[in-house]
Amino acid sequence: MSEVTQSVTQLVDAFARLPGIGRKSAERLAYHILRTNKAEALGLADAIRQVKENVRYCRVCYNLAEGEECGICRDVKRDRTLLCVVEQPRDLLALEQAGTFRGLYHVLLGRIAPLEGVGPEQLTIEALVSRVRGGGFREIIMGTNPTIEGDGTSLHISNLLAGLPVEITRLARGITTGSVLEFANKEILADALAGRQKF
């Protein structure tokens, strides 16, 4: 790669920083972009720009949104007494694709992971507690991943919510412990929701 131009090197470096992309793959992608027609390549650049300029976190639930609030929070047909707590927007998406949950969500934007230096204050837990304190919910469903860290996060939150007049439940364990929601299939997620149990 010693004879490539600076622009190409920059592109390879940028690809190589993406998760799961090694140096060889980054070079392959860069050369693919060089060969591809201009409209297509600039379309990719535009899509990245649009996502960075237009997409932000919903000010209510921290799902991805274009505008102040996400489509789910704005949807008047959702059941506003049910709240499902998930780790990431992609977990929310997996549950939405299962198609059975009609309540609202709260996205934590991570999980408590002491070994990685992630404490409760780095998540949206405070916003969650004040949201629940605001009233109107009858059930909070813990939809964190069935991992040690996901379970620990749910436990922490349920302790914070103890004493508030809401029922706290968690997804049934049709989901194998240690697996993650985003890779579970629709049927398993629908079952996990239907069979949820008291926390």
Residues contacting 114, CB < 8 A, separation 6+:
none
Q: How far apart are CB 81 and Zn ion at their closest, in Å? A: 16
Closer to Zn ion by CB, 117 or 135: give it.
Answer: 135
Q: What is the DSSP letter of 175?
A: S
Q: How far apart are CB 12 and Zn ion at their closest, in Å? A: 37
Among 63, 88, 124, 145, binds Zn ion (CB under 5 A): 63
69, HSE (Cβ side, Cα atoms, 13 Å): 9
Own/partner contacts of 191-196, CB < 8 Å, gap of 24 or more, are: 193/95, 193/98, 193/100, 193/101, 193/141, 194/100, 196/141, 196/169, 196/170, 196/171, 196/172
Cα 69 from Cα 160, distance rounded (Å): 25
The yes or no reply on residue 92 touching Zn ion (CB under 5 A) is no
Among 61, 142, 166, 193, binds Zn ion (CB under 5 A): 61
The yes or no reply on residue 60 touching Zn ion (CB under 5 A) is yes
Among 70, 83, 94, 141, binds Zn ion (CB under 5 A): 70
Q: How far apart are CB 70 and Zn ion at their closest, in Å? A: 3
Q: How far apart are CB 80 and Zn ion at their closest, in Å? A: 12
Among 41, 73, 82, 93, binds Zn ion (CB under 5 A): 73
Of residues 105 through 164, those in contact with Zn ion by CB under 5 A are none
Tokens at 172, concatenated:
């049934």
Closer to Zn ion by CB, 64 or 180: give it.
Answer: 64
Q: How far apart are CB 107 and Zn ion at their closest, in Å? A: 8
Closer to Zn ion by CB, 63 or 88: give it.
Answer: 63
Burial (Cβ within 10 Å: 0-12, 13-18, ≥19) of residue 139: middle
CB 105 within 8 A of CB 72: yes
Binding site for Zn ion (CB under 5 A): 58, 60-61, 63, 70, 73
